[in-house]
Chains A and B, each alone.
Chain A
Amino acid sequence: MSETPADDGSKKDARRKVGLFVTCLVDIMRPTIGFAAVKLLEDAGCRVVVPSQTCCGQPAYNSGDRRTAKDLATQAIDAFEDCDYVVAPSGSCGGMLAAHYPDLFAGEPDMAAKAERFAEKTHELVSFLTDVLHVDKVNARYDGVVGYHDSCAGLRELGVKQQPRRLLASVEGLELVELPEAETCCGFGGLFATKYGELSNAIVSRKAADIGSARVDTVLAGDLGCLLNMAGKLQREGSPIKARHVAEVLAGMGDLPAIGEPSKERRA
């Protein structure tokens, strides 16, 4: 191998080289999701690299700023050029990379072809584990009753639905309950949540009520944006229900403070 493997104890040869697109929200708000993703990928026999990266460009793309979106797309495509796969712990960013990048360069054949190749090797984390690496169980324990929220882009742009449920079924101690409105948007929508705060609040209030009606102590999802929104609403309403990223639970990191909870040392 020409490159130095990740210095983390996993030393298999000829492992697939996976570039982790950590996503800007995970990078800034909750790095533990990134480390959970690294653990899951390495456990499944991948070599993980984290190329220098910023944002996939979705905020610009969805705000109509196509030029900035293209610049950031080009930057990401170049940064992951020599990775076998690009994996993101997010359906939303994954959808941007895999479904929207090719659209972004429609009419520019060279870049479009590049974006298409990039899109083909890009996956959302959990569906990559199940559909590409054929992982069918994880070694993790979580004592709780959990509901899984299907984030919109993961569900509708990438077809992520059964994959997380399948892996969660192998987590010891975990009971999975279907939320009545699991497929209904939480009202996050990126900048929408602040541009239309009142409307976003109306939608997430309904989501919080749906979660609250379901006898769960934890809500999981594959997207930190949705999770920040749902956790923020549940906490503002004084609900004890915790929010966690599915990768953390699958990686056996379910004992971390939940999203928006104080860290343990400080609480003690």
Chain B
Amino acid sequence: MEPLAGIGGTVERGLAYVGGLAQLLGRAFVHAFRSPLKRSLSLQRACHQAMMIGVAAVPVISFITFFIGVIMALQGAYELKRFGAIHLVADTVAISITRELGPLVTAIVVIGRSGSAFAAEIGTMKVTEELDALETMALHPIGFLVTPKLLAMIIMMPCLTIWADLMGVIGGSIFGVIGADYTFRTYFIATRDALFMRDIITGLVKSIVFGLVITGVGCQEGFATGAGSEEVGRSTTSAVVTSIFLVVFVDLVFTAIFYVTGGA
């Protein structure tokens, strides 16, 4: 019975964690629609966050997805060549990048850059009593800290994902031109013909949910930081590990839903 009780306890804790995330994000949304004064200040902070989360992440995401595009083309070509179907390499890259790898790689880079930073920032503020200071000034830490991050993430994740998709396709086109008798023009025409709008839409829907998960986990781990600076390190590590796990899990759920509903 003991292993069963252990499994039950783990599931219960997992559900409580997800419930806590939903509550945190729900409160952050409510704060976004409070008074006009708070809304305008929140938008200013959201713009600052958008620069940090989105614009500053463009170079690293560009490089990574460009290389992944090349890798996908190489790997795809290796198998397709055996069936005499190397001309399908553009289709393979386009579909794998837009549906799966673009959103997933973007999410993982954003977790490493921003999810960990959220946990470290809020955790440090807790240790140095800055969160208490906000409360005594009648400023709600969730509205002040989480809402701008959430708004920025909802806007920037799809933007970064579209950019990642484009860079992945460009990466694939390099191999297409060098190793598969494409010109850039024919490669992009083949890519356009291979893609349906729903491929891009499903990727973007997933990217928004990934953004919610990354913000929720990063901030929740920050707020859960205990006393002492080493706790900030623990929160940051936990934010990264939990976010990656939940993003992959959410990816699985959404892919299954899209498959069942004929979207995948």
Specify whether A and B are partners: no
Interface residues of A (CB under 8 A from B): none
